[in-house]
Copies of this chain bind each other. A is one copy, B any other.
Amino acid sequence: MSVSLPIAVDAMGGDFAPEPEVFGAIEAVDAGIGPVVLFGAEARVESVLGARGISRSAPGLEVVNADSVVTMDDHPAEVLRNKRDSSLALAFDSARAGRSGGVVSAGNSGAMMAFAVRTLGRLPGVDRPAIACPYPTKKGVAVLCDAGANTECRPLQLAQFGVMGAAYARLILGAKRPRVAVLSNGSEGVKGTALTREASEMLQGARTDAFDFAGYVEGRDVVEGEIDVVVTDGFTGNVTLKVIEGVGMAVTEILKGEVKKRTFAKAGALLMKPALLSMKARFDYAQYGGAPLVGVDGVAIVCHGGSPARAIRNAIRVARGFVNQKVGDEIVRVLRETGLGR
């Protein structure tokens, strides 16, 4: 077996950086999905490693110093000029130079998009890279693409989101023949907008074994689990994912309150606790390890700003999967096969 390239982790990106990033990297190495190279203020990174009794040159780990940090307030266009020495920029430089296999960051996702597209470029045939975000359904997990990278879209871009989301669903999430559908305001073909209708026609016309196109999916059915890849523009996608998260949490809270109201508080709480924890786990983004940026010529995993170590570890696992499964090659192949390339 050949030696794997390390996954580059932006140690300074998240809301609680660098602790979760460093601990996530340690967990990844322990889990056999290293090596990992950490980009960040080396004194701080070393100090966090030291708290676990680990040196910066421990097997499977590497630390590269970066003099600046991209903050959540930084504008994507500006960081491309002003933050060339940031942990995020250096992580992407390493991926571009072939010194790492992919980048994981819990930082500013707009800046990450910008660096990814600028540094790695797009895959041949891809018009706009997108965020493919996993979310929980009744039956397991599905993907929504685009989750927010492209607020306003053209039909071909939507069709490509379907191809790219399907590659992720098949090669990483284990959907054998992903069912792809376009999110719309009704299941009949006459519904939707010009955008959704044209994108549907394109996907309908695609001849491929890589996925099945199922037409429109309504909002009511996105969590049923019959569809593996929900295709939409980044505005609607962002709203949809956040509604799923908000309602999931709200319903869990409300039910907890109802049960407590109606039983001896202690008995009710005891009985509900495992069920609520299990429910919380389903809506816990940390288990999915971030959302891949699909369509760039390389691997980039966008993590939630508040990611704990476990989320970073899982994102490293997803990045490793993208490298090993050659998800990019599959996207290029299917875009060619279907004629949906740009």
Contacts and interface: CB of A to CB of B under 8 A. Distances in A.
Interface of A: 137-138, 148, 151-152, 183-186, 191-194, 218-224, 234-236, 238-248, 250-255, 258-259, 261-263, 268, 271-272, 274-276, 278-279, 282
Given A193-B235, A235-B193, A251-B247, A258 B240 contact: no
Nearest to A151: B193
Contact of A247 (B244, B262, B268, B274): B244
DSSP majority for the A interface?
Answer: helix
Given A240-B240, A254-B279, 16 more contacts: A184-B239, A185-B239, A186-B238, A193-B235, A218-B242, A219-B239, A220-B246, A221-B246, A222-B246, A243-B247, A244-B247, A247-B251, A254-B282, A255-B279, A258-B278, A258-B279
Given A192-B151, A258-B274, A275-B259, A243 B240 contact: yes
B250 A252 contact: no
A208 to B, nearest CB: 27
Contacts of A234: 185
Contacts of A276: 255
Q: How many copies does the complex hold?
A: 2
Nearest to A276: B255
Nearest to A191: B151
A252 B253 contact: no
A314 B185 CA distance: 26
A241 B186 CA distance: 12
A192 B255 contact: no
A275 B251 contact: no
A263 B273 CA distance: 11
Contacts of A250: 137-138, 223-224
A267 B69 CA distance: 54
The 5 closest A-B pairs by CB, nearest first: A219-B242, A258-B275, A185-B238, A220-B242, A219-B243
A238 B193 CA distance: 12
A239 B193 CA distance: 12
B185 A151 contact: yes
